[in-house]
Amino acid sequence: MAETFSLIIHGGSASYDLNDPVEAANHKEQEQALARIIESGWKRLARGDRSIDVVEYVINLLEETPCFNSGIGAAIGAERQIELDASIMVGDTLQCGAAAGIRGVPHAISVARAIMEKTMHVMLVGDGLDNFISALGFERLRDEEFYTAYQQRLWNMYQELDTVPAHGGKGTVGAVARDSKGSISAGTSTGGMTMKMRGRVGDSPLIGAGTYADSRYGGVSCTGYGEQIIKIGMARTAIHLVKDGYTSQEACDQCIDELGQLKQGLGGMIAIDATGRVGACGNERFLPVAFMTSQQVEPVVEFDISSLKRSLKAKR
Ligand code: ASP
């Protein structure tokens, strides 16, 4: 049988009330965007592009789409700051790049990739990151240019509540791809949590927590309450489970089960294993996911966690 190549993308673990017209409208926009972006990404993978290029490409598209919490539309921090986190990994070589607290650059995943390819380091933060970004000549926006009405409203709501919810971030994005040569890459990009402290870093830019790829076993991108995901090193834990013989789906199920045992352990993840099988799991009501494999005739796009589980089961 021909090698399976696959692409799976997510738009962040979340719980919200669809009776709220603003949430319902955002949900609709996300659904349309995922359907469009999986198609565009698939065209690239199907014509033979490398998994790393497809992962960066689809995440760039998600970052440009304001209904997601990444790039434009990122979550607004307590001081109304925009600080983006991202990481990317190539499973063939374990080469990876990451950045936390990125200011002014919507394509955070491309900053992570540039760190991977143009420096001898894995991760940059602070002034050094800023200087690196300037030297590369990335376009820089002001924080206000990232604000959307949706994120402003969320910020106002939390401000009035005078409390920061455990998982106050919805719409982080991520992607995992396995190309026709068997190379697996993964990436994650986020604005983090609404009302986060300046300087707060979640799981998304941490290799092993938010993102991991090893082409011998699989690739993973996580979403959810970063403070808890970090504690169980969720992305690499999943890859270890695959190494131990579990499928990508079983590995996701076990990781989310472990996450759920922690206080406010809310989140989700997507994965592809070395045979190209996709997996995903989450413990909030929504995990927007789209996936396509060379065994399918058309992409699957799901939002609701129970429909997602049904679709994944049907494809096994
Ligand atoms: N994991 C992200 C963070 O903690 C947020 C999310 O995925 O919703 O920054």
Q: What is the pLDDT of residues 131-160, one digit of tens each?
A: 999 999 998 999 999 999 999 999 999 888
Residue 236 has a pLDDT of 98
How many whole angstroms separate alpha carbon 229 and alpha carbon 252? 13
CA–centroid distance, 82 to ligand 1, in Å, is 14
- Asked if residue 203 has its Cβ within 6 Å of ligand 1, the reply is yes
- Asked if residue 288 has its Cβ within 6 Å of ligand 1, the reply is no
Q: Is residue 260 predicted with pLDDT exceeding 90?
A: yes
How many whole angstroms separate alpha carbon 316 and alpha carbon 312? 6
The stretch 72-89 carries a mean pLDDT of 97
Q: Is residue 45 predicted with pLDDT exceeding 60?
A: yes
Residues 219-241 have pLDDT tens digits of: 999 999 999 999 999 999 999 99
Q: Is residue 311 predicted with pLDDT exceeding 80?
A: yes
Contact call for residues 32 and 315 (beta carbons, < 8 A):
no
The stretch 108-134 carries a mean pLDDT of 98
Q: What is the pTM of this model?
A: 0.97
- Asked if residue 282 has its Cβ within 6 Å of ligand 1, the reply is no
Residue 1 has a pLDDT of 46
How many whole angstroms separate alpha carbon 269 and alpha carbon 225? 12
Per this entry, what is the length of the chain?
316
Q: Is residue 24 predicted with pLDDT exceeding 60?
A: yes
The percentage of residues in the chain with a pLDDT greater than 90, rounded to a whole number, is 92
Interacting residues of 251 by C-beta distance below 8 A, sequence separation 6+: 218, 238, 239, 241, 242, 271, 273, 279
Sheet arrangement for strand 267-273: 211-214, 218-224, 267-273, 278-282
Average pLDDT, the chain: 95
- Asked if residue 279 has its Cβ within 6 Å of ligand 1, the reply is no
Confidence of residue 2 (pLDDT cuts 50, 70, 90): low
- Asked if residue 12 has its Cβ within 6 Å of ligand 1, the reply is yes
Q: Which of 87, 167, 256 to mutate to test the pocket of ligand 1 (most atoms within 8 A of CB)?
A: 167
Residue 215 has what DSSP assignment? T
Which residues are known to be catalytic?
172
Q: Which comes out higher in pLDDT, residue 169 or 58?
A: 58
Residue nearest atom 7 in ligand 1 by C-alpha distance: 223
Q: Is residue 169 predicted with pLDDT exceeding 90?
A: no
Structure tokens that stand for 5 in this block: 């190549």
Residues 205-224 have pLDDT tens digits of: 999 999 999 999 999 999 99
Give helix then strand counts, H and E, for the chain. Answer: 9, 12
CA–centroid distance, 136 to ligand 1, in Å, is 27
CA–centroid distance, 103 to ligand 1, in Å, is 17
Domains (ranges, CATH) in the chain? Answer: 6-315 (3.60.20.30)
CA–centroid distance, 84 to ligand 1, in Å, is 11
